[in-house]
């Protein structure tokens, strides 16, 4: 494993550089056809669930919250209309083992044409204990099924500042995925990848996605609302209203959310943890910037 290089902390309170963005990308044509051929059992199970969903005529449910950080929360890839399309199929579960040998999971996002996923640093390196291991990423994971396959890893990186100091602004990691062991293809051949952005304004609308265990470990939920700056959290930290908790860590905060499109959908932060004094009503994530995302991506080759 490698750790990303990072500039001196002397300028850490001054976000550097102009705003930037990299566009997402689509999988090759007929990607779903390929996935159905390569992972037939998972597709049979998923499509059987789709038929049950039609019979039950289920309606989406949502929660709308006021407060300091208003948000609107709804189900993610629970429904057929979402599990096969972007940005939902580019978000998945990241399974791993902690240094003490216990199993856990986080949320992660395909955010590079080089098969790199972005997640929270605490999902990759447990401070005070060491590196997590045995990473396996499952895009569009739904009820434990892997309609687009599962992927091991070849390399992981976090900022040295996360290892030495911790802090929400440094809670970002990148993992280079191996190709699927049965098909030999990369994850991007099935789902494409999300865009990513950095040095953007604090106050913007974001859609954050995660496998929150307080709601369901079987599919994603999403919160949509305006993010902001908090002096209590400091520079390069975004705050958003949301009631998702454990398991949503590492879930992407998407700028320019666009359903069923490979345009927009820039990962601009990932879920780190609760906003100070607001567990279960607001959480925070590292605002992607020249301080955190850029050196991490440079180290791993986003």
Q: What are phi and psi of 96, to 5 degrees?
A: -165, 170
What single DSSP character describes residue 148? T
Measure the CA–CA gap between 132 and 163, rounded to whole angstroms: 13
Measure the CA–CA gap between 258 and 267, rounded to whole angstroms: 12
29-300 has CATH 1.20.1440.230 classification = no
Q: What are phi and psi of 192, to 5 degrees?
A: 70, -150
Measure the CA–CA gap between 98 and 122, rounded to whole angstroms: 10
pLDDT tier, 8 (very low <50, low <70, confident <90, very high otherwise): very low
pLDDT tier, 12 (very low <50, low <70, confident <90, very high otherwise): very low
From the list 144, 271, 136, the residue with the least C-alpha distance to 209 is: 271
Model's pTM, two decimal places? Answer: 0.92
Each residue's pLDDT tens digit, 39-96: 999 999 998 987 766 554 444 567 878 778 999 999 999 887 789 999 999 999 999 9
Each residue's pLDDT tens digit, 201-257: 999 999 999 999 999 999 999 999 999 999 999 999 999 999 999 999 999 999 999
* Letter string b/e over residues 37-50, b meaning 16 or more CB atoms within 10 A of that residue's CB: ebbeebbeebeebe
Each residue's pLDDT tens digit, 121-166: 999 999 999 999 999 999 999 999 999 999 999 999 999 999 999 9
């Amino acid at each position: 494993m490698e750790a990303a290089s990072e500039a001196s902390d002397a300028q850490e309170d001054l976000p550097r550089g102009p705003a930037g963005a990299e566009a997402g990308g689509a999988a090759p044509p007929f990607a779903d056809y390929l996935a159905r051929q390569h992972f037939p059992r998972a597709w049979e199970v998923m499509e059987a669930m789709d038929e049950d969903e039609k019979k039950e005529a289920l309606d989406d449910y949502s929660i709308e919250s006021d407060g300091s950080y208003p948000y609107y929360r709804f189900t993610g890839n629970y429904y057929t209309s979402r599990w096969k399309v972007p940005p939902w199929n580019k978000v998945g579960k990241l399974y791993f083992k902690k240094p003490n040998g216990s199993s856990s999971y986080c949320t992660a996002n395909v955010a590079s044409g080089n098969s790199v996923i972005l997640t929270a640093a605490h999902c990759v390196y447990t401070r005070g204990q060491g590196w997590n291991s045995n990473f396996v990423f499952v895009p569009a994971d739904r009820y434990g099924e892997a309609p687009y396959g599962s992927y091991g890893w070849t390399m992981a990186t976090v900022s040295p500042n996360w290892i030495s100091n911790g802090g929400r602004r440094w809670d970002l990691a990148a993992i280079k995925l191996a190709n699927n062991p049965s098909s030999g293809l990369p994850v991007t051949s099935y789902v494409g990848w999300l865009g990513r952005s950095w040095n953007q304004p604090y106050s913007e609308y974001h859609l954050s996605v995660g496998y929150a265990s307080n709601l369901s470990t079987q599919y994603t939920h999403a919160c949509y609302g305006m993010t902001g700056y908090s002096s209590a959290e400091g520079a390069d930290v975004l705050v958003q209203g949301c009631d998702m908790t454990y398991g949503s860590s590492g879930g992407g905060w998407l700028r320019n959310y666009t359903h069923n499109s490979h345009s927009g959908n820039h990962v601009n932060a990932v879920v780190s943890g609760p906003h100070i004094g607001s567990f279960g009503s607001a959480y925070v994530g590292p605002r992607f910037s020249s301080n955190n995302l850029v050196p991490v991506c440079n180290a791993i080759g986003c």
